[in-house]
Amino acid sequence: MFELTFLGHQGWLLSTATTNLLIDPLLGDHFGHGGLLGDLYPPRTLDLARFPPIDAVILSHEHDDHFDLPSLNRLDRRIPIYLSSRSSSAARGLLDEMGFARVNLLAPDDELEIGELRYRSFVAEHDGAKQGDEWDVFPFLVRDRGGHGSLWSSVDVRPRDADLAQLRALAPRPGVWAYANNCSRASFQTMSRSRAPDDLPASDSDDTPLLAAAVARRHAQLEASWGRPVATLICGAGWSFPGPRAWMNHHLFPVDSQRLAASLANTCADRAVAPHPGHTLVLRDGELIAERSQRPFIQPRPRATWPARDHRGAGPQLVDYRPACGRTPITAAERELLLDELVDFARYLYGTPLFCQLHSLPTSLAADAGGEVRAQLCLSLRCDDGPLVLRYEPHACRFEVCAEGLRPTSFASGLECWASDLLGFLRGELGASALCYAGRLRVWNHAPKLLRVSPRELWMYGSPLRRPERAARLYRRLLAAEADPVPRVPARESS
């Protein structure tokens, strides 16, 4: 028997009669480092003490929707942890500091035996591929020794054709395919002078048909290489915005997972669903023999309590917002510290696409909405006493403070956020997800075909692989904020 339980987002419990394996578990109600991105969606009820005893935990990569500090703190320290070998030294060091007895590094093309389960990792292709910053992700296949079932997932990357060709040899009976719907569009964070929200193209309204066609092609490729999956599970996009940011739930997620699954079920898949937390599939001899809606340790909350996420197009532009750190003042000493921290960010920009664009421009540009703007990049940092405007000077590799009263939007491109948030992010006190895609900053690009800044510049700069010492500082702060003791998922006694 092979049993698969969906925990939420991209988390799984895979089981046989004698073995339980957790993959990327999120074991709290909140999402993102410090819970500052949002809340887990759909919401669920967990009873950690009733989890079955766990033989091992696999962490596919270091992004905070997979490597979650509160969740790690809720694991019995005797459970062996497997972490991608391409994750940062900060992640490795934290797991050691937390007292896990066994921390093992996963390499590409690794084959593990965990009780009755076999885990196989694959290589992610980054050379010339558009994989974003998923540097440490390995696609994986988990199957049981008896050949009853399996789970194939490429997590957040596109699999190589060579990997698909291996699946039939590794698991002759096709199993379950998990596809991550990672589509999001934070266009409400863009300050546009050239068009109003009502003028946005139809593709901003609903991308579900487009993605359904792409996933159907991927399904056909998988079927040709391996066979038709027993079930296709659409996961990912597992969070929502609470409180004053709840309006963004209708605009960030352009692909509805339920509709995507229904489209696949109608066209190419025998069984395609967007599972809710607790949804369980049971396979025997390669066949789906049972389905459950919940387990004793995990149940979805009543659907009436789920935040509404029906997509309503690009939506209104973000106008006002509060800082993620919860603090708006910035002292004179903190301002100087911020300028010092920005030196490294200015150096990071050298040679990036943004840097190359800046060096391909004249002194001024004609904005799309008319008029002339400076062919430069600026930061507009919100403070209680008015914005602090900084101009990027590539020749000096620094950000220069501009004269008071200079309009930030007189620059061709710019990024706006609270100064307190940017300082916290640069110092390793605030996670990138809390700042970049959570309605806590805005960007503008008056001539976007020539010069374009986006939150991605901050996101890439903040990678733990680039700044492991700052990532370690963040991890320790998050762990220190955790209540202790906390309920913990039990380890198998023999572990």
Report d(CA 93, CA 106) in Å as an integer. 15
pLDDT at residue 240 greater than cutoff 70? yes
85 and 154 in a single domain? The answer is yes
Give this prediction's pTM: 0.94
145 and 258 in a single domain? The answer is yes
180 and 52 in a single domain? The answer is yes
Q: Based on the structure, what is the number of domains in the chain?
A: 2
Predicted pLDDT of residue 314: 86
278 and 375 in a single domain? The answer is no
Burial class (CB in 10 A: 0-12, 13-18, 19+), 20: buried
Predicted pLDDT of residue 200: 39
pLDDT at residue 203 greater than cutoff 80? no
Average pLDDT, the chain: 93
8 domain-assigned: yes
Predicted pLDDT of residue 197: 38
Asked if 79 and 489 touch (Cβ cutoff 8 Å), the reply is yes
Structure confidence by residue, pLDDT tens digits, 308-346? 999 999 889 999 999 999 999 999 999 999 999 999 999
253 and 357 in a single domain? The answer is no
Q: Where residue 440 sits, what CATH number does that domain have?
A: 3.30.1050.10
Q: Where residue 143 sits, what CATH number does that domain have?
A: 3.60.15.10
Segment 433-443 shows an average pLDDT of 95
> In terms of Cα–Cα distance, which of 402, 401, 424 is closest to 477?
424
**φ and ψ of 153, to 5 deg:** -145, 135
Predicted pLDDT of residue 103: 97
Q: Which domain holds residue 300?
A: 2-305
Kindly indicate the confidence band of residue 7, based on its pLDDT and cuts at 50, 70 and 90: very high
78-92, 284-298, 478-492, range with the lowest pLDDT: 478-492
350 and 297 in a single domain? The answer is no
> In terms of Cα–Cα distance, which of 450, 453, 452, 457 is closest to 364?
450
313 domain-assigned: no
Predicted pLDDT of residue 69: 95
257 domain-assigned: yes
482 domain-assigned: no
pLDDT at residue 196 greater than cutoff 50? no
Predicted pLDDT of residue 204: 53
Structure confidence by residue, pLDDT tens digits, 395-427? 999 999 999 889 999 999 999 999 999 999 999
Report d(CA 116, CA 420) in Å as an integer. 50
Which residues are bridge partners to 290 per DSSP? 282
189 domain-assigned: yes
